[in-house]
Amino acid sequence: MAFNFFKRTPGQAEMSFIEHLEALRWHIVRSVLAIVILAVFAFIKIDWIFEHIIMGPLKQDFLSVVGLCKLGHFLHIGDTLCLPAANVQLQTTAFGSQFISSITIAFVCGFIIAFPYIFWEFWRFVKPALSPREINSTRGSIFFVTFFFLLGISFGYFLLAPFTFSFLSNYKLGMSGMLITRPTLDDYLDNLLDILIGSGIAFQLPLISYVLTHIGLITPDFLRTYRKYAYVAILFVAAVITPSPDWMSQTIVALPLILLYEISIRISVRVERNIKKRDAEF
């Protein structure tokens, strides 16, 4: 896939380097403006967002925590899927920590809500450099990138975050009980944001597979060959973050990631088939 960022739409002269930078600047300005506007609205409701969204994974009545526990009882496996309470009380160690954290939360909310628009601006910037065939092959990319990004964030928020904080807050070092976990608000937010953004990026695996197969960097055979290593890595991550060593709770976490890998293989197969079909026509 060759890009010519100086190309305009048919009938227009090619863009100069300065015009190219000017176009990029306005795409960035509009994206930042969207984030700021939404961050202002989030800041107005910051107390509600903090109590009901940010602190959610630490609460015992959290939607997914209650749901998993009920699922375990429904499957007649006892309290296997019931997460122990986090039992932590966050603290701040500086006068400005709560205010700075409020600003951080507002801007993260603004970024997540504005993500479809941000990617649309990115798409508008890249689109003039694509050929009609490349544009046609990437049809629906805005929807799918946004869908998998939000799906990943939901997975991180409702599954990974409760598992992670339950395990880490209840992990004990030593037998005397002299150590008490007292995390700071900044530490909690850093971990939560890492989980959310990391999950959002990880769920782009099918789309990454599509792009890399399209440009010839990977093939379905490559993904199949390294499938067993990918599964081992996924199971290892699931084993680390789940609070108990039973197979059921680890499967709950690992299954979506394994499913994404399998979807990536199917996508790679389809892309390779379309490429071969196209080459045969020419």
The whole-number average pLDDT for the span 167-195 is 85
Look over the chain and give the mean of its residue pLDDT values, rounded to a whole number. Answer: 83
pLDDT above 70: residue 249: no
Q: Tens of pLDDT along 38-76?
A: 999 999 999 999 999 999 999 888 988 888 888 888 888
The radius of gyration of the chain from alpha carbons, rounded to an integer in Å, stands at: 23
- Reported as a pLDDT band with limits 50, 70 and 90, residue 5 is very low
Is the pTM above the cut of 0.85?
no
pLDDT above 50: residue 212: yes
What's the chain look like in SS3? Answer: CCCCCCCCCCCCCCCCHHHHHHHHHHHHHHHHHHHHHHHHHHHHCHHHHHHHHHCHHHCCCCHHHHHHHHHHHHCCCCCCCCCCCCCCCCECCCCCHHHHHHHHHHHHHHHHHHHHHHHHHHHHHHHHHCCHHHHHHCCCHHHHHHHHHHHHHHHHHHHHHHHHHHHHHHCCCCCCCCCCCCCEHHHHHHHHHHHHHHHHHHCCHHHHHHHHHHCCCCCHHHHHHCHHHHHHHHHHHHHHHCCCCCHHHHHHHHHHHHHHHHHHHHHHHHHHHHHHHHHHHC
Single-letter residue type at 202: A
The whole-number average pLDDT for the span 68-96 is 84
Q: What is the pLDDT of residue 68?
A: 84
pLDDT above 70: residue 276: yes
- Reported as a pLDDT band with limits 50, 70 and 90, residue 151 is very high
205 or 247: whose pLDDT is higher? Answer: 205
